[in-house]
Structure 1
Amino acid sequence: MSHALALTAPAPMPLAHTLVALALILAVARVCGRIARRLRQPTVVGEIVGGVLLGPSLLGLLPGHLDTLLLPAEIRPALHVLSQLGLVFFMFGVGYHLDAAHLRSGRAKRQVAAVSLSSVALPFALGAGLAVLLHPWTDRKALAADGPLGPALFLGTAMAITAFPVLARILAERGLQRDPLGAISLACAAVQDLLAWCVLAAVVVVVQADGPWPVVRMLLQSALLFGCLIFLVRPALAWMLAPDRRWAGAGAAPVHTVIVVGVLLTAAGTEAVGLHAVFGAFAFGAIVPRDRIETVAPQVPQQMDQFSALLLPVFFTVTGMAVNIGGLGGEGLAVTAAVLAVACTGKFVGGFAAARLTGATSREAGVLGVLLNARGLTELVILNVGLSLGVIDPRLFTAMVVMAIVTTVMTGPLLTCLRRPGDDPAPPRAERPSAAAGRAEVPGP
């Protein structure tokens, strides 16, 4: 009996090493996050940079191969599982906090529609064209298919994204969440995220399927799953979470259990039909009846955000392990510059031109273009999906991660340059940034 137990018990050293690695990851994320805050950047930017520094881009350059010593191959599967778990709960928070009221903002309906479509269509077209030009440069062995269609569709989608949670956090820190431009930019980011996730789902179906029937089957299964969420799960949750239900007065624990179980099962469902788990988590967060949650157990979304914020540094580190800036070489740096130029041009020109055509001043249009250029964590989520599908190779993945960091870092300084000193209203003293302002992405004070 003891021999059998010894055979099935986990080896003590990998467990101890995993725990030490987690402690290191969280400590580095905390320090880098504090540095970012002092530089007037969102905490998540520092955490992303910390994850990159723990990979071959920095530790791998130091004597002794510290990246493989501190984060050896045998513990990386465990870190990957933890990172995906944090990602799933983060995407639930993105779906939950994506308020449809932003899509109906007053003066802006026509402007929101024009700016959103323009700042998605132009980056998508430029990104797809860039992918076709870069296809001969990519490592074909790392790609799942030989043709440029999958990489072109994916890179276009990745270029079109705007990081809604990071943008909301930037606006909250500057007291702009109730400013007309802030409201319009949030509405545009919400529309763009919805469009980008829908397009990404279609790209995943196209890339994963081997023929017309698998595509039809995945579409039917996905439609059935999302239809069940909308027409069965949402009404059931609304009934279960009604304030007059006996168990609804039992505190947050039952509600928390229902939400966690729902997120995990929905994420598993989309993973099973061929989509990534993040789609299920996002969809479940979007269909949860927020009014019932806020009435019965308003602390549950905060707890979910805190849990995802605790695990997201692991996701950043796993991402950083696939980023090797030093291995780009001269051609890689040129490609990175091209990626950055295309990303900024597509977003800024698309947003600026549409805003000007719908009546915005030059400065207002510039502010919108700058705000919509922030990619942040949402970009990393999409890039990891693309890397796992084999539609981008590690070098292009590295270039895109650098672009995501740079476009997010440059948002704050450019916003300061474009707005006059008296333009930024002071944030209300009694009001803390809401969960919709990126609590899931920016933990800590």
Structure 2
Amino acid sequence: MSRSVQIAAAVTDKSLDLVLKVLPALIVIMAASWVCGRLALMVKQPRVLGEMVAGVLLGPTLFGLLWPEGQKFIFTPEVKPVLYVLSTIGLTLFMFLVGVGFDHSGSSNGKQEAKQAALLAVSGMVPSLLLGGAVGWLMYDRLSEPGVGSLEFVLFVGGALSITAFPMLARILYERDLQNTSLGRMTLLGASLDDVAAWCFLAVISAMHADAGGAKALGTIGLSLAFVALMLLVVRPLLKPLGDHVERTGKFGLDQMYPVLCVVIAAGYFTDYIGIYSVFGGFVAGLAMPKNHAFREAVLTRMMDVVSVLLLPIFFTFSGLNTRLDGLGGWAMVLPFLLILAAAFIGKYFGCGLALRGAGLPWRQSLAIGGLMNARGLMILIFINIGLAQGIIGQELFSMLVLVAVITTALAMPLYRWALPDHIEREILVQEGVIAEERTESPVAEHELAASAR
């Protein structure tokens, strides 16, 4: 047997061995996500929260604590890089689908929605940034790491609390058919602006921590703006014939799928390369896609189920594998944790709610959006994992922020449902033509809908 044949055989054996390690991990992830997703639905929470909790529980928090040997056997060191690649692709594709389904054409008040979305982004970030920074300043001596300056520590805590779980918020809106209502469009756009700003903010902090100077951060922001302009002003017109073809023929086959996926993956690669995470590249690629109804429906029908059921749970699990909740150091950390939690909740909920009400939105919708913007999900986990890896924060603060992520995310749907009960939400969907009108005999529902408009 020649040397080349021996090498090929060895590579094949290693590949098969890796496959036999990855597949059991995928089975465990799917099973845990399904069970936790069903439990979340039973307690009136979105399925995506259950999937997020499943990912955390499969990590050191529960699985690794109760059965460390089993956890190491399922999630071996060889498996984790594969899960990372799949999770990155999954999240990028999901945000691409969000962008594809993001439709302003049905709105007769697009400029007003854009203004409200900008206000939402500012009110969702600035109060949390200021309150989080104030808490960071108070707790700097107690929680900071050696070699970390007070300014970068304060900015990091504020930035972490200012982030919104854009993918989770999108999942919630899609599960409730709200993505193409004025409320849904405004919330998605505001949250996306919020998170882009947060990632640019993280680039500035990372540059400060690495002594790279402000030029690197400014370069990242400049490249981000250039990328958005390229996608919307150049790539979008080039893709228009593709949408026209699907609209004319009613066919969306492999010849159409290849260029679509190439654009998405290239966009995700570029944004990841410049330091603002591939999720935003996927979202902008979705915005650049043709807006023909047949094209949008074909893409969403073909891809949404596989991405949501298979790839997103992998993302949640990979993040959970890097999450530890054993870093809290006893009662001495209770007060700092409560201060951080209060800053996180007040900054988002009241910041967004009061700002939108001041802009003329009804109280119910303003508070509902404030509740949704409080969901931080695993986006904050990504944010703080970067901070932990770079040595900006330590394990104690990291663990506190993980708990803040779980608690504020779990509060999002109860706050939303309190502000917009099902019958009022349904009336909004009917008014905007998302679902067919269904007459109600309940004068209470009509009275509450009229009150919500005041």
Q: Is TM more than 0.5 here? A: yes
Instruction: Work out whether residues 52 and 317 of structure 1, in 8 Å CA contact, stay in contact via their aligned partners in 2.
Output: yes
Between 383-392 and 116-125, report the one with greater CA deviation.
383-392
- SS of the equivalent of 1:56 reads helix
Whether 2:38 is the aligned partner of 1:38: answer no
- CA deviation profile, 1:27-83 (whole Å, cap 9, x unmatched): 111111111111111111001111111111112221554322321223211111111
1:261 paired residue number? 262
Report the CA distance between 1:164 and its aligned residue: 4.8
Q: Which amino acid aligns with 2:256?
A: V
Residues 311 and 126 of structure 1, relative CA distance in 2, 3 Å threshold: same
2:229 paired residue number? 227
The runs of 5 or more residues in structure 2 that have no matched partner are 437-454
Report the CA distance between 1:4 and its aligned residue: 1.6
- SS of the equivalent of 2:244 reads coil
Report the CA distance between 1:213 and its aligned residue: 4.8
2:196 paired residue number? 197
- CA deviation profile, 1:199-226 (whole Å, cap 9, x unmatched): 4235325524723554455455444444
2: CA distance, partners of 1:361 / 1:49: 33
Report the CA distance between 1:194 and its aligned residue: 1.3
2:130 paired residue number? 125
2: CA distance, partners of 1:159 / 1:250: 45
Report the CA distance between 1:196 and its aligned residue: 2.8
1:352 paired residue number? 353
Residues 231 and 411 of structure 1, relative CA distance in 2, 3 Å threshold: closer
Instruction: Work out whether residues 150 and 206 of structure 1, in 8 Å CA contact, stay in contact via their aligned partners in 2.
Output: yes
Report the CA distance between 1:21 and its aligned residue: 0.9
Instruction: Work out whether residues 352 and 369 of structure 2, in 8 Å CA contact, stay in contact via their aligned partners in 1.
Output: yes
1:268-287 maps to which residues of 2 (within 5 A)?
268-287=269-288
- CA deviation profile, 1:374-421 (whole Å, cap 9, x unmatched): 333544454555556654445434333332222222233334445578
1:321 paired residue number? 321
Residues 172 and 6 of structure 1, relative CA distance in 2, 3 Å threshold: closer
1:84 paired residue number? 88
2: CA distance, partners of 1:152 / 1:399: 15
2: CA distance, partners of 1:173 / 1:278: 20
1: CA distance, partners of 2:406 / 2:22: 27
Q: Give the share of equivalent positions with the same residue, in percent.
A: 31
Instruction: Work out whether residues 36 and 46 of structure 1, in 8 Å CA contact, stay in contact via their aligned partners in 2.
Output: yes
1: CA distance, partners of 2:114 / 2:226: 31
Whether 2:44 is the aligned partner of 1:71: answer no
Between 64-73 and 254-263, report the one with greater CA deviation.
64-73
Residues 364 and 27 of structure 1, relative CA distance in 2, 3 Å threshold: closer
Q: TM-score, structure 1 length as denominator?
A: 0.80
2: CA distance, partners of 1:216 / 1:316: 31
Between 391-400 and 415-424, report the one with greater CA deviation.
415-424
Whether 2:146 is the aligned partner of 1:147: answer no
Q: Which amino acid aligns with 2:410?
A: V
- CA deviation profile, 1:10-35 (whole Å, cap 9, x unmatched): 52444312111111111111111111
- Bigger relative contact order (CA 8 A; separation at least 6): 1
Report the CA distance between 1:191 and its aligned residue: 1.7
2: CA distance, partners of 1:146 / 1:84: 29
Q: Which amino acid aligns with 1:344?
A: F
2: CA distance, partners of 1:59 / 1:256: 39
1:47 paired residue number? 51
Q: Which amino acid aligns with 1:191?
A: G
1:372 paired residue number? 373
2:306 paired residue number? 307
Residues 432 and 275 of structure 1, relative CA distance in 2, 3 Å threshold: same
Whether 2:240 is the aligned partner of 1:241: answer no
2:409 paired residue number? 408
Report the CA distance between 1:251 and its aligned residue: 2.8
1:365-444 maps to which residues of 2 (within 5 A)?
365-380=366-381, 382-383=383-384, 386=387, 391-418=392-419, 423-425=424-426
Q: How many residues align?
A: 423
- SS of the equivalent of 1:290 reads coil
Between 56-65 and 185-194, report the one with greater CA deviation.
185-194
2: CA distance, partners of 1:214 / 1:199: 16
Q: Which amino acid aligns with 2:12?
A: A
Between 209-218 and 28-37, report the one with greater CA deviation.
209-218
Between 47-56 and 209-218, report the one with greater CA deviation.
209-218
Residues 83 and 394 of structure 1, relative CA distance in 2, 3 Å threshold: farther
Residues 296 and 277 of structure 1, relative CA distance in 2, 3 Å threshold: closer
The runs of 5 or more residues in structure 1 that have no matched partner are 434-445
Instruction: Work out whether residues 348 and 369 of structure 1, in 8 Å CA contact, stay in contact via their aligned partners in 2.
Output: yes
2:60 paired residue number? 56
RMSD (Å) for aligned C-alpha atoms = 3.7
Whether 2:9 is the aligned partner of 1:6: answer yes
Structure 2 residue aligned with 1:161, among 160, 163, 177? 163
- CA deviation profile, 1:180-199 (whole Å, cap 9, x unmatched): xx744751452242133134
Residues 381 and 337 of structure 1, relative CA distance in 2, 3 Å threshold: same
- SS of the equivalent of 1:329 reads coil
Instruction: Work out whether residues 59 and 65 of structure 1, in 8 Å CA contact, stay in contact via their aligned partners in 2.
Output: no
Instruction: Work out whether residues 166 and 192 of structure 2, in 8 Å CA contact, stay in contact via their aligned partners in 1.
Output: yes
Residues 343 and 206 of structure 1, relative CA distance in 2, 3 Å threshold: closer
2: CA distance, partners of 1:363 / 1:153: 32
Residues 306 and 249 of structure 1, relative CA distance in 2, 3 Å threshold: same
1:440 paired residue number? none
2: CA distance, partners of 1:96 / 1:396: 37
Residues 52 and 186 of structure 1, relative CA distance in 2, 3 Å threshold: same
Q: Which amino acid aligns with 2:55?
A: G
Residues 415 and 374 of structure 1, relative CA distance in 2, 3 Å threshold: same
- SS of the equivalent of 1:47 reads helix
Between 362-371 and 345-354, report the one with greater CA deviation.
362-371
1:15 paired residue number? 19
1:172-183 maps to which residues of 2 (within 5 A)?
183=182
Between 59-68 and 43-52, report the one with greater CA deviation.
59-68
Q: Which amino acid aligns with 2:202?
A: V
Report the CA distance between 1:150 and its aligned residue: 4.4
